[in-house]
Every structure is written in C-alpha cells, then in structure tokens.
Amino acid sequence: MIRTAQLSDALAIHNLHTRSVRGLCANTYPKEVLDAWLFGRSPEGYVGIAKGEMYVYVENGVVVGFSHVIPTLLIALFVDPEHARKGVGAALFSHALEFIRARGETPAPFEATLTALPFYLRMGCTEIRRSFVEKNSVNIETVLMRLPERAIQSPLQTPASGPSAAGAPAAPPSGAAGR
C-alpha cells in the first residue's frame, strides 16, 4: 500500500534510505562515495514529509520503499534491498508518474543513480546525459533522465506475475533535490 508519509515515518525512511544506498549501490559506487553520500543525514532531514511530498510503500506495517515527488519532478525513489525486484519500485514509480501527469505540467528531467539506470530504462524513461552531483566534497556520477512521454505498461509487468522492479535508488541525496 502506498500512502503519504507521516512525520512518524522519518526514522524508518532514514534507515531504509541508508540500507538502500549501502546495499544496492555498493556494486556501482566506491565506499568513499557512499560514505560522502550518506554523511550527515538524519531523520530530521526529510523535509518533504512535512510538505506532503513524500510517499511510503508499506507492507505488513513496515515501510519498504519511499518516494519524494513534487508536481513536476521525481526527486527520489528508494527501496529496501530485501524488497528489491518485488514490485515496490515499480509501484512507487507508477504512483509518482500519475501524480506528475495529473498536474498537467511538463515533467522536469530527474537525476538517477547509475544503479537505477536499468530500472528507469525498463520503466520507459530515456537517458539525457551523464552528470555529477556534489555531496560533501565528493562528486557522485548520476544520469539525467526524462520520464516517459506517455503512459506505459511496464515491461516487467505480466498478468501472471504483477509488477516487478529493480528497486534501485532514484538518485543520490544532494543539491536542490533535497536528497
């Protein structure tokens, strides 16, 4: 179930974010990049919760994924490593895409991690260019992505199996994106 995040979810979101970055991005980014990416993060830093911009995927009462979405931009999408490739990422992505499209505005390109690139390509996004965001004096390579032009049926979704997703993080926590 996807619902709007509450302030009481901040610690669970923070812990999930840390597990996701350390668990899913470790094969793509060196440890020193991951350390810089996460340095100084705290549950209080998820300001999108208070603004009603963050959503959580809850399974059996536990937060297993979250997204941060504003009317024209997917800011972040992270899934707990134990729930990766089980449809959580695809559900959060579809929810974010519906939210953005419902506003009728042109979606802005978003930054994705190298880890999440295959997931977003499967979701119908297109790569614009590689770029870097700086976090704690370390450059983190990312991919600037464009959301799909039209509604798509996920290539990961089949009638028998339901949605599935890579569960990889959307983007590193940095810059104006508030991650």
**Which residues make Cβ contacts (< 8 Å) with residue 137, sequence separation at least 6?**
36
pLDDT at 35: 96
Q: Which two tokens stand for residue 88?
A: 């959580």
Residue closest to 21 by CA, chosen among 9, 35, 10, 7: 35
Q: Is the pLDDT of residue 61 over 50?
A: yes
pLDDT at 169: 58
What's the pLDDT at 151? 52
Of residues 149 and 58, which shows the higher confidence score? 58
The CATH number assigned to the domain holding 78 equals 3.40.630.30
Number of domains in the chain: 1
Query: Over 70: is that where the pLDDT of 78 sits?
Result: yes
**Domain housing 111:** 2-177
The amino acid at residue 73 is L
